[in-house]
Chain A
Amino acid sequence: MNLTLNIWRQDGPQAKGRMVTYKVTDISPDMSFLEMLDVLNEQLNDGGEEPIAFDSDCREGICGMCGLMISGDAHGPEKTTTCQLHMRSFSDGETITIEPWRAEAFPVIRDLVVDRSAFDRIIQAGGFISVNTGAAPEAHAVPVPKVKADRAFEAAECIGCGACVAACPNASAMLFMGAKVTHLGELPQGQPERFSRVVDMVSQHDGEGFGGCTNVGACSTACPKGIPLDVISTLNMDLRHALSRKA
C-alpha cells in the first residue's frame, strides 16, 4: 500500500506545531498502525530528519500508552487501541491525518506525545481502597456476589488511555472517572470511602481543566475497552448522594 500521511509535528511543549505531509510506500496490510509509523521513522532517520515522537509500550492493547487521533477518530476507525489497529483497515492511496490527543488537560510534549499525568492525580485524589499491606482479612471473609464482581470487572478494564477525553467535545474525563468509581463502588471493599472518593475525584478532575459532561456519548464510542456510558450515571448518582449527605 502507498499512503499519504499528514502528521502533527511540534518540537516541544512551548513550540508552535504544524502539519507535515509524508509519503510511505510498500506498506503491508499486516502491519499495525504503529509499525507503519516505525517504517516512516526509519525512512526519516535515514534521510537525516528527526523521527516522529509517539508513545507506545505493550503494543497489545492493554497498557494504555498509545493513542493518536487518526483522521479525526481517537484510536482510528476501529474499536480498538492504536497499537492494535492494522493497516488492512485502510485502503491503498488513502490520505491519513495523524494528530495527538487534544485537550487542555493533556498538553503536548512533542509531536504526538501528550502529558496525561492529570489521570494519575485524579487517582491520587481517591481512586483507591485504603488497606495497608499485611492488614488484609482472609480473601474469603468477604464474598462478592458474581453480578457485582462482573460489573466491577467490566469497569476495571479501563486502560487509562485518554481516548474518551480526546473524543469528547468538552474534553471531559467522566468516562475514565466513572469507570474507577464504578469499579470500586460495586465492591464491598470499596464502600467505606465510596462517597468521599467520588467527591474528591470530581473536584480534582475539575481542577485539572477537564470539561463537564453533557451526555454526548462520544467517549464511550471511542473507548477501546467498551466502557459503558452508564458508569457516568453511577458516578452522578454517587455524587448526588454524597453531596446530599454532606448538606
Chain B
Amino acid sequence: MTDKNAQLDDLSDGGSQPDLVDGSEEINPPVADAHAPAPAGAGRDGTDLFTPGEPIADTKAPAGPIADKWATRQFDAALVNPANRRKLSVIIVGTGLAGASAGATLGEAGYHVKSFCYQDSPRRAHSIAAQGGINAAKNYKEDGDSIYRLFYDTVKGGDYRSRETNVYRLAEVSANIIDQCVAQGVPFAREYGGLLDNRSFGGVQVSRTFYARGQTGQQLLIGAYQALERQVAAGTVETFTRHEMLELIVVDGRARGIIARNMVTGEIETHLADAVVLASGGYGNVFFLSTNAMGSNVTASWRAHRKGAYFANPCYTQIHPTCIPVSGAHQSKLTLMSESLRNDGRIWVPKDPADADKDPRQIPEEARDYYLERIYPSFGNLVPRDIASRAAKYQCDDGKGVGPAVEEIDAEGNSRMVRRGVYLDFAEAISRLGKPAVEAKYGNLFDMYQRITGENPYEVPMRIYPAVHYTMGGLWVDYDLQSSIPGLFVAGEANFSDHGANRLGASALMQGLADGYFVLPNTIRDYLAKGPFEKVASDSPDVVAARAQVTDRINKFLSIQGTRSVDSYHKELGAIMWEYCGMERTEVGLRKAIGLIRELRADFWTNVRVLGANEQLNQSLEKAGRVADFLELGELMCIDALHRRESCGGHFRAESQTEDGEALRHDDLFAYVAAWEWGGENGAPTLHKEDLEYEAIEMKQRSYK
C-alpha cells in the first residue's frame, strides 16, 4: 500500500522535497514554514485543519537537579490543617488503580471524597485485567537497577516524547508502591525464603517487575479497592457506582463538579466539590476492537476537553503484538496473550500465500518464513512491541496471513477479505524443553487460548495478531497533574505525561498507583490549601447550563429514532481508525479518514436508533453517549497524526522511515508535546506546543537490528 523505500528527507535543511505520499509533483512548503499557518487546503501537515496557538510549558516542576525536584515540590506545596480537611471536598471519577488509590489516600488524609465509576463495583475497573506486572526500582536482585536506570529506560522506551521531570518522579516513588501494596496484603510472587520475586519484562535488562501470577492488575486493584472500602466504612469516602460522569462543571474558570447520570434510574445528578480528579482510563476503544474492557471510554476526558482542558498527543496508541486474532464480524473485543510467550515461541508465516489454509504442521521448514529472525537477527522474536506489530501487519498485508479471512474496508473504502494472523509456534520449545516445562511456564495462557479459539496450542501453533492496547495520549497535565483547567486533576492512563510515544511493559500499573497513592495527595493539597472555594449554588448558571447540556443530549439520542444501532457506528468508526490511524499512517490515509469520520458523525446524529427511555437502565443510551464522543476524538487523533510528520514509538508515519524501513524520528522538529485546545462545535482545534527539554538524558535514535 505504501512505498516502503520512500523517505522523508531531512526536514531541517529548509529545502523542498517531492511529495512522497501520492507521487504527485506537489512541492513541500519550506521547512521554516512547516508549522506556520498554510493557506486553506494547502497545509501538508494539516495546518488547514487546525490553528497554531501559543506555546505552553509546565510551570510547576521546581528548578534544580532532577533528583531533588520532587522533594522540593512536596516541601513547597502548601499544607492543609487536619481540622480543615473535612471541609474540603474532592470528586474522583474512576476507580481503577489511579482513582481507587487516590480516593483511599485522600479519604485517609481526611478530605471528603466522592468516588464514581460506571461498573457495579469499584473492584471491576479495567485495571483488573492487567496481566504482566508492575515495575519498581527496588534493586532486590542487585543487578544494577536504580531510580536513574528505571527513569532512563522509561524515557528511552517512550522514544523521547515524555516529560523528563514526571518520569523521574515516577521512578523515584516506584519503590514505595511495592511497600504499600505488600502491607495491604497484595500476594505478590515470592521465592521460597519468603522474599519477593521479580522477573524482567519487555526488553529491559534488569529484573524489576513484581507480579502476581498472570493477575497482577487484579491483585493490585483489589488492594486499592479494599483500601477505598475501608475509607467508605470510615465515612470519608462516598462511592457512586453505576454512575457515569457526563459533564464537567466549570465555574469562574475552575473545575467545581460534575454532572453524572445514575445508570439505574436515569436521574441526572449534580455533584459539586472543591476539586475534581479524572482517573477515567484510556480511550483505546475508539478502535472498537481493543484489549480494553467493553465500557472503557473517553467521555470524562472529552467532556473536560470541550470545557477547556487540553488534549495531548491523542494519536499515540500502543499496539500490542501478541493478541488472539479476530475470528469474525461478531467479535466484541480482543484478548491479550502475555508478551512473555515471545521468549520461547517462534513467529512465522508461510512463504507461499497458497499455504494459508494448510495445517501448519504440514508446512515444511523451508516453506516457512521466520521473518523476525530473518529481519532482526540480533533481537529476533524479542524485538519491541511496535516493531513486532508492524512486521506482522506487513506479512498479512502481503497476503501471507493465516487463520480465518475477515472482512475489512480497504484504503479505497471497499470491503475485502484478509487473513489477519501469524503463527506463534512452540513446537521447537516443546521438543527442546519438553511439554511439562512449557506447561509449567505458560499453562494458563495456553488454556486461555484454547478456550477462546478451540484449538490446542500444544499441538497446533498459536495464531496471534497485533491489537490496540493502551493510549499514551490523554489530557495535558503539569507536574502537579493539574490540567489546563485549574482544579481539574488527571491521573493514570487518562493523562499523557509519563510514557511518551510508546509505553514499556509493566509501567502503566506503576504510574496509576504512583499518581494515586503518592503524587496527587501532595499536589492537590497545594491547590486545596486555597479552599474551600466559594460555594457554588446548584442553580448557578454554569450548573444549570451543564445539566441542560446533558439532558438535551440524552433527549436528542432518544428522539432521533433512526435505523442504525449505536454499535454499528462504533464498529465502522473503529475500522476507519484502525485502517488509517492504526499501526501505519500516511498523509493521504489520514485525510481520507477525517472525511470518512465527518460523514459518519453526521449520519450518526441523524440516523442512530436508541430505543427505550432515560429513566431506566438503558445500555444503548450509555453507549450512544460514548460513541458520540469517540466520533469527535477520532477526528482529533487523525489531525494529530497528520501534523506529526515523524515516526516515533507505536506511531509510524510511512513517509518518515529509514532506508531499511525503520521508524525515523525528527527531534529537530517534533520534540514537543502537542496539546490541543477545543475549537468549538464546528471550529478547528488550536495546537499548543510544549517543548520537551531533556536535561538529564541525551536523545538518541533507537535501533534493534
A binds B: yes
| Contacting pair B620 A65 (CB below 8 A) | no
Q: Is A88 an interface residue (CB 8 A)?
A: yes
In the bound assembly, the distance between CA atoms of A190 and B196 in angstroms comes to 17
| Contacting pair B192 A157 (CB below 8 A) | no
| Contacting pair A117 B241 (CB below 8 A) | yes
Could you mark each residue 498-523 of chain B with 1 if its beta carbon is under 8 Å from any beta carbon of chain A, else 0?
A: 00000000000000000001100100
| Contacting pair B185 A152 (CB below 8 A) | yes
Most buried by B among A36, A55, A84, A189: A55
- Given A129-B226, A184-B185: A55 and B451 interface contact (C-beta under 8 Å): no
Q: Is B454 an interface residue (CB 8 A)?
A: yes
| Contacting pair B185 A124 (CB below 8 A) | no
A180 to B, closest residue via Cβ: B226
Q: Is B141 an interface residue (CB 8 A)?
A: no
A contact residues around B138 at 8 Å (CB): 139
Q: Is A96 an interface residue (CB 8 A)?
A: no
Q: Is A11 an interface residue (CB 8 A)?
A: yes
Please report which residues of chain B, range 598-620, place their CB below 8 angstroms from some CB of chain A when the two chains form the complex.
Answer: 609, 611-612, 616-620
Please report which residues of chain B, range 223-248, place their CB below 8 angstroms from some CB of chain A when the two chains form the complex.
Answer: 225-227, 229-230, 232-233, 239, 241
Interface residues on B, range: 35 or more
- Given A42-B567, A63-B129, A189-B182: A110 and B617 interface contact (C-beta under 8 Å): yes
Q: Which of A55, A58, A128, A183 contacts B120, CB < 8 Å?
A: A55
Q: Is A92 an interface residue (CB 8 A)?
A: no
Most buried by A among B101, B190, B195: B190
Q: Is A220 an interface residue (CB 8 A)?
A: no
| Contacting pair B180 A133 (CB below 8 A) | yes
Quote the shortest CB–CB distance from B280 to chain A (angstroms).
14
In the bound assembly, the distance between CA atoms of A139 and B187 in angstroms comes to 12
B contact residues around A140 at 8 Å (CB): 140, 195-196
Could you mark each residue 157-196 of chain A with 1 if its beta carbon is under 8 Å from any beta carbon of chain B, else 0?
A: 1011000000000000000000000011001011000000
Q: Which of B189, B241, B451 contacts A86, CB < 8 Å?
A: B451
In the bound assembly, the distance between CA atoms of A38 and B331 in angstroms comes to 10
B611 to A, closest residue via Cβ: A50
- Given A117-B241, A144-B190, A153-B213: A124 and B196 interface contact (C-beta under 8 Å): no
Which of B214-222, B433-441, B460-468 sits within the interface?
B214-222
Task: Determine the main DSSP class of A at the interface with B.
Answer: loop
A contact residues around B187 at 8 Å (CB): 149, 152-153, 156, 183, 187
A contact residues around B264 at 8 Å (CB): 13, 109
Q: Which of B122, B180, B620 contacts A51, CB < 8 Å?
A: B620
| Contacting pair B327 A30 (CB below 8 A) | yes
| Contacting pair A116 B120 (CB below 8 A) | yes
In the bound assembly, the distance between CA atoms of A41 and B219 in angstroms comes to 34
In the bound assembly, the distance between CA atoms of A34 and B332 in angstroms comes to 9
| Contacting pair A129 B184 (CB below 8 A) | yes
In the bound assembly, the distance between CA atoms of A125 and B180 in angstroms comes to 21
Q: Which of B229, B239, B328, B565 contacts A46, CB < 8 Å?
A: B565
Could you mark each residue 14-29 of chain A with 1 if its beta carbon is under 8 Å from any beta carbon of chain B, else 0?
A: 0000000000000011
A-B contact pairs, 5 of them (CB 8 A): A35-B330, A110-B616, A139-B183, A149-B188, A149-B190
Closest 10 CB pairs of A and B: A143-B194, A136-B183, A128-B226, A153-B187, A110-B617, A139-B182, A136-B179, A63-B124, A124-B233, A131-B183
Extra inter-chain contacts (14) besides given A50-B612, A60-B335, CB under 8 Å: A49-B611, A55-B120, A62-B215, A62-B218, A86-B451, A128-B226, A129-B184, A130-B230, A132-B108, A140-B140, A156-B187, A159-B218, A160-B123, A160-B124
